Amino acid sequence: MTVSVLAQTKQPNIIWIVGDDLGAELGCYGSPGAHTPNMDRLAAEGIRYSNAFSTAPVCSASRSAFITGTYQTRIGNHEHRTIMMKPLPAGVEPVTTYLRQAGYVCFDVIGLGANGKEDFNFSPAKVFDSKDFAAMEKTVADGKPLFLQFAIHEPHRDFTPLPQGMVGADPAKVILPPKYPDDPVARKDWAEYLDAVQVCDMKVGRLLAWLEERQIADNTLIFLFGDNGRPHVWDKQWLSDSGVRIPLIVRWPGHVSPGSVDSRLVSLIDVPAETLAAARIQPMPTMDGRLFLGPATIPREFAFAARDRCGETFDRVRSVHDGRYNYVRNYYPELPYWQTSRYKVRQYPVLARLKELHALGKLTPAQDRYFADTKPAEELYDLQNDPGELQNIIDHPQHTEARQRLRQALAQWQQAVPDMGAELESLEEYNRGAAGALKGDDKFVPDTWDRRSESIVDALKARNFKSVSMATAAP
Ligand SMILES: [Ca+2]
């Protein structure tokens, strides 16, 4: 084989830049007040996907899905965070297993601002070869193909402030989504979110500079995405459009058209399939994703998502998005949206403010829905005419076709996958999961605890669980 052929067949380096809780609030997505020059540059040099979604609205469930290429509900990785972890089922492997077999060295590096976060719900497997920056430098120097997950903490809460001297978003000028009241607390919180997104962007800039210094940028395929939607009251942990809507940018010099925008639906479950394809590895039959790069690919019709227990907050919700409509199925409509968790009470100042405004009767009906005693069993939103998801149109006769179509699509998906969330985790698992979420804070008692525990006990009893009692459900 000649050197030139070798050069032509050189495997690309592949990088996943994962912004933790990074919603689509980027300059290149047209978000007012966002300042993200490095991510905008990536989009200008690559493809920006304007309808990309995670499969879960929370870290560990989403990350377990996109590292394996299988829905978290298929592999029992849907509870955030699973305490009694199990190995992955036979035939399911982290995508890095296949990359390694093809000669890649796989890093989840700590350095250049990346924190090496994994957060998977399966029992320990060696997903990455190393987190060591020097080892990654050596891999590049040796000319070996690199797979890198570049995990950026921002904009996850607590929001990281901008370094001194940098100009952040002006709370007076930000434009809040309509689900949030025009209130100083909400404005300040939103501006701080945009600043944390800017910190994420700075770290992306550091990585891009490093690639250029090492002269490997041209042979590197970059996927940039958030692991779930933005970290706000109505969003993260919920299957609202904005709970699972994420930015997705793909840069691959010579392979994708610079500056293009693709509005076709993409799910994060597709990224591992595309990653293997780029490395010239046949995607595994156990993987749920499909290829999406290039005009010849067949676009997906639906993007599915699942939300189960989040920390100590019990719930089960499923959704399907077709790019225009978001259909949501609540399996526990008796549980309200406002059921709290320590994480939210401690880190979402807007939640406390919303409660005050609710008590004062100062929220609009759409904003006030958060404090209803129950949730609807089904929700349907028309993003084309109602991008803020203010109005649930599940019963509107003019949207009957969409309701039926999405309801059916969701049922088919749950059957085909199949959805392991149909089986509740044991009360012991729930309690240990809740205890883990509350670790070190024994005095914190969520204000819906008793109600939720009763609901869980009832649900477990209905499924003939033995030895269920309120005593064991207590924190
Ligand atoms: Ca996250």
pLDDT tens per residue across span 298-343: 999 999 999 998 877 888 999 999 999 999 999 988 788 887 677 8
Cα separation, 273 vs 292, in Å, equals: 9
Q: At residue 464, does pLDDT exceed 70? A: no
287 and 311 together in one domain: no
254 and 322 together in one domain: no
Q: Give the angle subtended at the CA of 273 by the CAs of 270 and 276, to the nearest 5°.
A: 150
267 and 316 together in one domain: no
- Residues 6 or more apart whose Cβ sits within 8 Å of residue 262: 47, 48, 49, 50, 292
- 386 assigned to some structural domain: yes
286 and 317 together in one domain: no
426 and 319 together in one domain: yes
Q: Torsion angle of alpha carbons 262, 52, 198, 342, nearest 10°?
A: 170
pLDDT tens digits for 121-171?
998 789 999 999 999 999 999 999 999 999 999 999 999 999 999 999 999
Q: At residue 249, does pLDDT exceed 90? A: yes
156 and 271 together in one domain: yes
Tokens of 306: 């699942």
Q: What is the mean pLDDT of residues 339-360?
A: 88
Distance from Cα 265 to the centre of ligand 1, integer Å: 21
Confidence of residue 446 (pLDDT cuts 50, 70, 90): very low
| Whole-model pTM over 0.85 | yes
Q: At residue 229, does pLDDT exceed 70? A: yes
Least confidently predicted of 17-26, 379-388, 460-469: 460-469
Confidence of residue 468 (pLDDT cuts 50, 70, 90): very low
Considering the chain, what is the average pLDDT of its residues?
A: 89
287 and 373 together in one domain: no
Q: At residue 182, does pLDDT exceed 60? A: yes
- 4 assigned to some structural domain: no
pLDDT > 70: percent of the chain: 89
Asked if 223 contacts 15 with a C-beta cutoff of 8 angstroms, the reply is: yes
- 90 assigned to some structural domain: yes
Asked if 226 contacts 54 with a C-beta cutoff of 8 angstroms, the reply is: yes
Distance from Cα 114 to the centre of ligand 1, integer Å: 14
Residue ending a domain, among 259, 293, 327, is: 293
313 and 407 together in one domain: yes
CATH number of residue 152's parent domain: 3.40.720.10
pLDDT computed for residue 75 by the predictor: 96
Distance from Cα 186 to the centre of ligand 1, integer Å: 21
- 104 assigned to some structural domain: yes
Distance from Cα 58 to the centre of ligand 1, integer Å: 5
Confidence of residue 451 (pLDDT cuts 50, 70, 90): very low
Q: What is the mean pLDDT of residues 382-403?
A: 98
Residue ending a domain, among 293, 324, 355, is: 293
241 and 370 together in one domain: no
Q: At residue 437, does pLDDT exceed 80? A: no
Least confidently predicted of 37-41, 166-170, 294-298: 294-298
- Residues 6 or more apart whose Cβ sits within 8 Å of residue 201: 26, 35, 36, 37, 38, 39
Task: Provide the domain count of the chain.
Answer: 2
pLDDT computed for residue 458 by the predictor: 58
Distance from Cα 472 to the centre of ligand 1, integer Å: 30
136 and 283 together in one domain: yes
- Structural domain of residue 147, as residue ranges? 10-293
Distance from Cα 335 to the centre of ligand 1, integer Å: 23
248 and 312 together in one domain: no
Distance from Cα 5 to the centre of ligand 1, integer Å: 41
Sign (positive or negative) of CA dihedral 120, 333, 243, 112: negative
* Mean pLDDT comparison of 207-216, 438-447, 455-464, highest-scoring range: 207-216
287 and 378 together in one domain: no
Q: What is the mean pLDDT of residues 30-56?
A: 97
Distance from Cα 163 to the centre of ligand 1, integer Å: 23
- 5 assigned to some structural domain: no
Cα separation, 257 vs 29, in Å, equals: 18
Distance from Cα 360 to the centre of ligand 1, integer Å: 32
Distance from Cα 468 to the centre of ligand 1, integer Å: 32
- 2 assigned to some structural domain: no
- 408 assigned to some structural domain: yes
Residue ending a domain, among 245, 267, 293, is: 293
pLDDT tens digits for 361-370?
999 999 999 9
Cα separation, 394 vs 184, in Å, equals: 33
Least confidently predicted of 84-93, 134-143, 208-217: 84-93
- 400 assigned to some structural domain: yes
Q: What is the mean pLDDT of residues 409-434?
A: 86
Distance from Cα 20 to the centre of ligand 1, integer Å: 4
